[in-house]
Chain A
Amino acid sequence: QKEVEQNSGPLSVPEGAIASLNCTYSDRVSQSFFWYRQYSGKSPELIMSIYSNGDKEDGRFTAQLNKASQYVSLLIRDSQPSDSATYLCAVNEGRETSYDKVIFGPGTSLSVIP
């Protein structure tokens, strides 16, 4: 059974600080990694994707991937109250027959305190 694990939180950070969200996965051959943001009562929204080891930056968001450690993280710089949401880590199954099947972690609840 493929697993994606995240700290459930809640994670609280002051406005303007860096929020660090972590995720580990069990499938060694996974190739695609995603971060989704979900506001309360809304649907998940894709905010970042990463496929290669290292860092990928998009505005205030940086995704980091380390396949050897089976670890992916999301950093949010200059956190804003509007970033308060649940962040879902998602990982695709690595087998050729199921590349398009994505497993979601339980999510980390982030609260940015003004």
Chain B
Amino acid sequence: DAGVIQSPRHEVTEMGQEVTLRCKPISGHDYLFWYRQTMMRGLELLIYFNNNVPIDDSGMPEDRFSAKMPNASFSTLKIQPSEPRDSAVYFCASSQTLRTGRYGYTFGSGTRLTVV
């Protein structure tokens, strides 16, 4: 299996521009998670999906952030408009879990976003 695939690996954009991050989860995994990692705040859960349906988006910082999962093999995280404080590494992770939550996640390699 190719693992969780994220693109792009690096993104540099100007403040105010729209940014779209992409993720392909592991085939057969029914959960998908978007995390953001910074030195100050660590790994923060932004949103997660189960069977393509958003379950919890309480971690999405504000309305500038949106996420979609149109099918089982693709998800996007969009920031519009982007701001310098959005600079971080964004990770996508997927998992195949039972209701007991007894499986760990597999993370993608991340997208390093820099907003200037």
How many residues does chain A have at the interface if contact means C-beta atoms less than 8 Å apart?
26
- Interface-facing stretch out of A11-19, A75-83, A97-105: A97-105
Give the CA-CA distance A99 to B101 in the complex, in Å: 5
Decide if B71 is an interface residue (CB 8 Å cutoff): no
Q: Which residue of B has the minimal Cβ distance to A34?
A: B104
Is the CB–CB distance between B99 and A43 below 8 Å? no
- Please give the distance in Å from A90's CB to the nearest CB on chain B: 8
Q: Size of chain B's interface in residues, with CB distance under 8 A?
A: 25
**Do A42 and B45 have beta carbons less than 8 Å apart?**
no
A68-114 contacts to B, CB under 8 A, are 88, 90, 92-93, 96, 98-107
Within A39-56, the residues touching B (CB, 8 Å) are 42-46, 49, 51
Measured CB to CB, the closest approach of chain B to A23, in angstroms, equals 13
Q: How many A-B residue pairs have CB under 8 A?
A: 61
CA distance A45 to B56 in the complex (A): 23
Chain A residue contacts of B95, Cβ below 8 A: 100
Known contacts A46-B104, A51-B102, A100 near B43 by CB under 8 Å = no
Inter-subunit contact B100/A99 (CB<8 Å): yes
* A26 CB-CB contact with B under 8 Å: no
Which residues of chain A come closer than 8 Å to B45, judged between CB atoms? 101-103
Please report A residues at the B interface, Cβ cutoff 8 Å. 31-32, 34, 36, 42-46, 49, 51, 88, 90, 92-93, 96, 98-107
